[in-house]
Each structure stands twice: as structure tokens, then as C-alpha cells.
């Protein structure tokens, strides 16, 4: 009989014995480690760990393990989480006119590549904008944003996110700057895709900026959203080589391909609890 897999993640100040103690509590409660990764950041003195494990026998009790681990975590001052690997995270997708990232995430979800439950789509464009996409029965909310209605619409968006019990919010090329208050509510669980290789070429028309500079590489960056515009902890990046023959329009087309794959990889890492915050950056454990 195949036992259910679980995922444990933790971070804390580094000190001797953490790995041994974590392994011991899993063993003592009848669980078997399937995969373990850890990172000791010697610059910050912080320790990070991700463990996949399952029960060694039918009598192993996940609830008892959680209680035992809570005691251990308290002693080390850990920030931690433990959940069944099969438990899908609830995701809200936010989109604007350019829908290539939204379409790609929905395709990867339907094909089984992204293990998530899309619980809402929030858009500042009407549903007709996405008529060519199969949105299934995902609740769709049209929230047009103007300077006068921005705070009101953000308040409504927050109520929708809360009601949907969302674990993750994805800005799938959502072309609105979020207020500091809204960002604070989403700290550590809101992912954005930036259509350039940060920190270069911020603002409007980054691919045109890149073309004017004659760059030989373009890229995209997925990061957690913070109050500092496009400067949140980076989760994933990728680049593609270009040449002097490429026009700004070609760069935009190639850039959209990069955006799709970078955002999908970043979301996949978050869905599998592979991303841990490390001050202003991230630890991303490989799959």
C-alpha cells in the first residue's frame, strides 16, 4: 500500500543539531524521509529545510507527529508548515488585457502540470476580453479600476480573496500597481511576473528599452510582490538570446514566451512548498 506523502518546510536561526532533531522526531513517530534538502545561509545565520516524508506503517499518526513537531519547532523558534503533498493550494488569478500568462496557467492546470485549485479570476477587463479562453466554472469577477475607484476595487478584491480562502494570488500580467495596504495583506503569497530581467528595464515598454540599448539577452522575472515596485524577493528568472535583427515587436513576442514559462515555474515551486523567504530574497529548493 502506497502511503500518503507529506511536505515539511522550516526556517530558523541556525544552530547545531537541527537536522538530527527533525529526523529523530519523524523516525520516532513512525515516518520515513523520502527527500530532504537544507541550506545554511552563513551570511544571515539562517537555516532552511524542506522534507518530503510518508508513513512507515499504517499505524503512523500524522496528527501526533504534528503535535510532537510543534514542541520541537517552539524550542528552535522555527517558522514551519506541514501538509499532505496531495493537498492542492487554492489560487486566485488576476489578469488584464494581455492574457498569455492566464491562458498558459489554465492550460498547465488542466493538463495536470500545476497541482492547484483556481478559485477565482479577478480582471480589470470584462469577461468578453477572454471569450477565446475556456474559464470553466471558475468564478470570474470584473473589477474595472480607475484612479477614483482603485481603493474601492482593491477592497472588493480582498473580500473575494478572503471568501475564496486563497493560499496564493498570481498577478498574471495584471497591469495595475497595488497599494501598500493591499500588498501588506498578501505578503509572502502574491506572485508577479515582470516582463524584463530585473533589475533592468523597469517601467513602460521594457522590450523597447532593451532594443534601444542593443542588448543581446532579454528575460523575465517572477517575484513576490512587496511595497517596493518590482523589487520583491525573486523566485524565478530566465533569459533568451536575441540579435540585432530582432525588432521591438519580435522582442515582445519572444518575451511573452519567457514570461509564460518563468511564471509557471515560479508558481509550481510555490505550490510544492519549495520557496522559503530569506529576508529580501528567497531559498528555492530544486525538484
CB atoms under 10 Å from CB of 279, counted, come to 10
240 closest CA partner among 260, 220, 222, 268: 220
Q: 230, 238, 246, 273: which is the annotated catalytic residue?
A: 230
Burial class (CB in 10 A: 0-12, 13-18, 19+), 133: middle
65 closest CA partner among 4, 119, 115: 4
Buried b (16+ CB within 10 A) or exposed e, 147-170: eeeeeebbeebeebbeebebbbbb
143 closest CA partner among 156, 132, 130: 156
Q: What is the distance between the alpha carbons of residues 285 and 272, in angstroms, rounded to a whole number? A: 10
Give yes or no: 230 in active site. yes
Q: Is 60 left (phi over 0), alpha (psi -120 to 50) or beta?
A: beta
Catalytic residue ranges: 230
Amino acid at each position: 500500500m502506497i502511503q500518503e506523502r507529506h511536505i515539511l518546510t522550516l526556517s530558523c536561526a541556525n544552530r547545531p543539531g537541527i537536522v538530527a532533531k527533525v529526523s529523530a522526531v519523524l523516525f520516532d513517530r513512525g515516518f520515513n524521509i523520502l527527500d530532504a534538502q537544507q541550506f545554511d545561509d552563513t551570511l544571515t545565520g539562517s537555516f532552511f529545510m524542506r522534507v518530503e516524508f510518508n508513513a512507515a506503517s499504517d499505524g503512523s499518526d500524522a496528527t501526533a507527529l504534528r503535535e510532537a513537531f510543534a514542541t520541537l519547532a517552539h524550542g528552535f523558534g522555527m517558522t514551519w508548515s506541514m501538509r499532505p503533498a496531495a493537498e492542492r493550494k487554492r489560487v486566485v488569478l488576476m489578469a488584464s488585457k494581455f492574457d498569455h500568462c492566464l491562458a498558459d496557467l489554465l492550460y498547465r492546470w488542466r493538463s495536470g502540470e500545476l497541482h492547484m485549485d483556481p478559485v477565482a479570476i479577478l480582471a480589470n477587463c470584462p469577461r468578453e476580453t477572454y471569450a477565446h479562453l475556456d474559464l470553466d466554472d471558475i468564478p470570474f469577477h470584473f473589477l474595472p479600476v480607475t484612479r477614483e475607484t482603485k481603493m474601492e476595487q482593491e477592497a472588493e478584491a480582498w473580500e473575494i480573496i478572503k471568501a475564496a480562502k486563497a493560499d496564493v494570488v498570481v498577478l498574471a500580467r495584471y497591469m495595475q500597481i497595488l497599494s501598500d495596504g493591499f500588498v501588506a495583506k498578501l505578503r509572502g503569497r502574491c506572485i508577479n511576473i515582470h516582463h524584463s530581467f530585473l533589475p533592468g528595464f523597469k517601467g513602460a515598454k521594457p522590450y523597447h528599452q532593451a532594443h534601444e540599448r542593443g542588448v543581446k539577452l532579454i528575460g523575465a522575472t517572477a517575484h513576490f510582490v512587496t511595497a517596493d515596485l518590482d523589487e520583491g524577493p525573486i523566485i524565478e528568472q530566465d533569459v533568451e538570446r536575441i540579435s540585432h535583427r530582432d525588432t521591438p515587436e519580435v522582442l515582445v513576442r519572444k518575451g511573452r514566451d519567457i514570461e509564460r514559462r518563468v511564471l509557471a515555474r515560479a508558481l509550481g515551486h510555490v505550490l510544492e512548498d519549495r520557496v522559503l523567504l530569506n529576508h529580501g530574497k528567497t531559498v528555492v529548493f530544486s525538484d
